[in-house]
Amino acid sequence: MLPHRYPADGRLTLEIELRASAHSDHEADYWAFQRETLSRQFKSKVRERLEAREIRHLTVFALAPQPLLIELGRHLCDITQMDVYQLHREPKGWAWPVEADHPNNDIMKRPSELGEFRRLLRSTFNAIKARHGERAVINVFPALPVSAAVEVGRVWMPKVDLPLVIYDQNRTLGGFTKALEIGTPRATMRAI
């Protein structure tokens, strides 16, 4: 964050914790429980402070299963000013490195790349809707950097975009399984 942003005092440091769960990610109730926990914590720890204008900018450091990162991004939306950071494996840390020589798990190297991802995703959502119509639903099989997963949810707009069905890779269940649905289901939707 430094030198561009400075940490707020301790009372404005927000943490949403999703670790304590009696369910495993292969159980039917897991995603509903985690989604509800995320929603409740976001409302009490973030939304209320945003609405009271205690917070004017957020810096986001997020780690969670990708469907929950997308859900977090949906809650954050694109209205509030924020910086979303990417955890890098090599070298370890949250700081944005100067360049990406070889694409790998750490492909997201600069905030400008995250901005370009948002632009392309917005364009993709629009193109899918134009091609397949208002009654379609977009199936999402996420395998992307954590910062990009948050941005998927931030880019998605409830009144404009098609509903999303988010899947999660789960070896116990034999592959990708439906984790979350985002958006109002429409009668007789067609999956894309």
Single pTM value for the model: 0.82
From the CA atom positions of the chain, what is the Rg in Å?
A: 17
The model's confidence at residue 104, banded by pLDDT at 50, 70 and 90, is low
Dihedral through CA 92, CA 34, CA 161, CA 49, nearest 10? -80
Residue bearing the bigger pLDDT, 26 or 139: 139
Q: Are 75 and 39 in contact, with CB atoms under 8 Å apart?
A: yes
Sequence-ordered list of residues with C-beta below 8 angstroms from that of 173, at least 6 positions apart, any chain: 26
pLDDT of residue 101: 60
Encoded amino acid at 183, one letter: G
Task: Extract the tokens encoding 126.
Answer: 């629009």
